[in-house]
């Protein structure tokens, strides 16, 4: 994934299985805690399936699918936010064991096949993150400006170039692939942990 220290922000996500993040995703956060803690970080989970927002008991599925590691991750790196998004299930991409498990009546009902991702919702979330990062850039740029006066003597104010506004959603293609996305200077780089949330 290259030098993670060169990034100014991170978005880390994982598929959720049995209310748990994938092992590699959780391990990445734990092993990079010191790097992530002072940086702006957002987390996402991909899991719920189906067209309904609630289950048969009226429980919100996005709340029900929050990973059990979430409290630990919030304590470890203090992310700016966490979102659960509906996922996708393609039977042709399941392993033999997963297919066998899905043949059970209850499992089939709770794990319907199809793509249930709400791309408009994902894009809106990504755009909000891009806006926050742009605001962070503006704040840091202001902090780096020299003082206009020092001990009564005028000091020329350094010229600064306004950073370009970030384009629309920087990584909608990150779904269905889970991974780590970071912002380096004005562009977005997308090293992936190679996990598939479908």
> Does any domain span residue 152?
no
Domain coverage including residue 57: 7-144+162-196
What is the value of pTM for the model shown? 0.67
From residue 77, give the alpha-carbon distance in Å to each of 87, 101, 107: 25, 35, 34
Q: Which of 74-78, 129-133, 148-152 has the lowest mean pLDDT?
A: 148-152
> Does any domain span residue 16?
yes
Q: Tell me the per-residue pLDDT of 99-128, one tens digit each, with 9 for 90 and over.
A: 666 666 445 566 788 999 999 999 999 999
> Does any domain span residue 22?
yes
* Residue of higher predicted confidence among 72 and 142: 72
> Does any domain span residue 157?
no
pLDDT > 50? residue 62 = yes
* Residue of higher predicted confidence among 56 and 98: 56
CB 9 within 8 Å of CB 182: yes
Q: Which of 7-11, 29-33, 111-115 has the lowest mean pLDDT?
A: 111-115
> Does any domain span residue 60?
yes
Instruction: State residue 89's pLDDT score.
Output: 86
Residue 114: left (phi > 0), alpha (psi -120 to 50), or beta? left
> Does any domain span residue 66?
yes
CB 101 within 8 Å of CB 109: no
How many domains in the chain? Answer: 1
> Does any domain span residue 14?
yes
Q: Which of 36-45, 52-61, 88-97, 159-168 has the lowest mean pLDDT?
A: 159-168
> Does any domain span residue 88?
yes
Among 187, 176, 84, 82, which residue's Cα sits nearest to residue 133?
Answer: 187
Among 163, 194, 119, 133, which residue's Cα sits nearest to residue 11?
Answer: 133
């Amino acid at each position: 994934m290259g030098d993670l220290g060169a990034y100014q922000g991170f978005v880390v996500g994982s598929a959720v299985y049995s209310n748990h993040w994938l092992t590699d995703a959780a391990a990445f956060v734990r092993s990079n805690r010191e790097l992530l803690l002072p940086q702006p970080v957002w987390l996402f989970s991909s899991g719920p399936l189906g067209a309904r927002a609630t289950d048969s008991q009226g429980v919100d599925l996005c709340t029900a699918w929050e990973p059990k590691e979430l409290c630990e991750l919030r304590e470890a790196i203090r992310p700016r936010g966490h979102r659960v998004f509906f996922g996708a299930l393609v039977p042709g991409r399941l392993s033999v064991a997963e297919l066998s498990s899905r043949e059970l009546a209850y499992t089939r009902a709770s794990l319907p096949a199809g793509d249930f991702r709400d791309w408009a919702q994902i894009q809106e979330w990504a755009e909000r993150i891009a806006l926050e990062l742009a605001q962070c850039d503006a704040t840091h740029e202001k902090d780096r400006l020299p003082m206009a006066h020092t001990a009564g003597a005028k000091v020329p104010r350094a010229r600064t170039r306004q950073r370009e506004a970030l384009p629309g959603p920087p990584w909608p293609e990150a779904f269905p692939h889970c991974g780590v996305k970071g912002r380096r200077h004005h562009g977005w780089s997308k090293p992936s942990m190679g996990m598939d949330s479908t």
